[in-house]
A and B are shown apart, each in its own frame.
Chain A
Amino acid sequence: DADVTQTPRNRITKTGKRIMLECSQTKGHDRMYWYRQDPGLGLRLIYYSFDVKDINKGEISDGYSVSRQAQAKFSLSLESAIPNQTALYFCATSDGAGGSYNEQFFGPGTRLTVL
């Protein structure tokens, strides 16, 4: 079974709709992240959370919100989707122990299309 899962894997929606993307992990990691990937732009950080009570904005948080329901779950919401939010969204996790760099493990991605 995959350690980091994302649902849905693909979603097509219309402008103005509310969308929630969900991420679950079985790695026991404290830290979770949401990124979006656009062609040629690499991955850009939307939000991150270092534990259940910690939520931080990334570089492109406008138009998004998140919820850390439990250590293993981190959801990303688009309150009112717009076409330029069409992208590939990745959830990632890392172990927060030690204070130094810890590898980030990515989920399989959610391809979101906003019409």
Chain B
Amino acid sequence: RKEVEQDPGPFNVPEGATVAFNCTYSNSASQSFFWYRQDCRKEPKLLMSVYSSGNEDGRFTAQLNRASQYISLLIRDSKLSDSATYLCVVRRAAGNKLTFGGGTRVLVKP
């Protein structure tokens, strides 16, 4: 079983709609959680950290459920520019070593 698992998608989303997807992690010792965004053939970039209380950044909302060991990302009012692969990332212990999921591809269409 992979340490971090994601639905690869693609999630085909009409422009303006809401889309949400999850990521599950297997190691209960995981400490920190993040969503990175990766555009086609480009490098990953940090989208947002995920806090225990949940957090919001504009149209993006991230949630953490430690009991069920998953994190989620919700995108409201989807824009064409939101089309990308969203990587779920988990940090287990001190040292800043990250474990990446395989990514969820989102395609926003007019």
Known contacts A42-B103, A50-B95, A102-B96, then 10 further A-B pairs from the complex at CB < 8 Å, ordered by chain A residue: A42-B4, A42-B87, A42-B100, A43-B44, A90-B43, A101-B49, A103-B46, A106-B44, A106-B45, A109-B42
Q: Does B94 contact A (CB under 8 A)?
A: yes
Contact across chains for B87 and A43 when beta carbons are under 8 A apart: yes
User: How many interface residues does chain B have, given as a range?
Assistant: 20 to 34
Q: Is B97 an interface residue (CB 8 A)?
A: yes
Query: Given the complex, which residues of B lie within 8 Å of A45, measured CB to CB?
Result: 97-98
Is B8 positioned at the interface, with any CB of A under 8 Å from its CB? Answer: yes
Q: Give, as a whole number of angstroms, the nearest-CB distance from B20 to chain A.
A: 20
Q: Give the Cβ gap from B46 to chain A, nearest Cβ, in Å.
A: 5
Distance in angstroms from B98 CB to nearest chain A CB is: 7
Nearest Cβ on chain B to A36's Cβ, whole angstroms? 11
Q: How far is the CA of A33 from the CA of B8 in the complex (A)?
A: 25
Instruction: Bits for A73-115, please: 1 = Cβ < 8 Å to B, else 0.
Output: 0000000000000000010001010011111101111000000
A58 to B95, CA, bound (A): 12
**Contact present for B96 and A31 (CB under 8 Å):** yes
